[in-house]
Amino acid sequence: GENVEQHPSTLSVQEGDSAVIKCTYSDSASNYFPWYKQELGKGPQLIIDIRSNVGEKKDQRIAVTLNKTAKHFSLHITETQPEDSAVYFCAARGSNTGNQFYFGTGTSLTVIP
Partner 1 sequence: KAGVTQTPRYLIKTRGQQVTLSCSPISGHRSVSWYQQTPGQGLQFLFEYFSETQRNKGNFPGRFSGRQFSNSRSEMNVSTLELGDSALYLCASSFWAGVTYEQYFGPGTRLTVT
Q: State which of residues 93, 107, 109, 111 lies at the interface with partner 1 (CB under 8 A).
A: 93
H-helix or E-strand spanning residue 107: strand 107-112
Phi–psi pair at 95, nearest 5 degrees: -70, -20
Please report how close the Cβ of residue 38 comes to partner 1 at its closest, in angstroms: 8
Q: State which of residues 40, 60, 98, 113 lies at the interface with partner 1 (CB under 8 A).
A: 98
Other CB atoms within 10 Å distance of the CB of residue 12: 13
Q: Does the protein bind partner 1 through residue 32 (CB under 8 A)? A: yes
Reduced 3-state DSSP string for 47-65: EEEEECCCCEEEECCEEEE
Closer Cβ to partner 1, 80 or 107, answer by number? 107
Phi–psi pair at 108, nearest 5 degrees: -90, 110
Q: Does the protein bind partner 1 through residue 46 (CB under 8 A)? A: yes
Q: Which residues bind to partner 1, rule: CB under 8 A?
A: 32, 34, 36, 41-46, 49, 51, 89, 93, 97-106
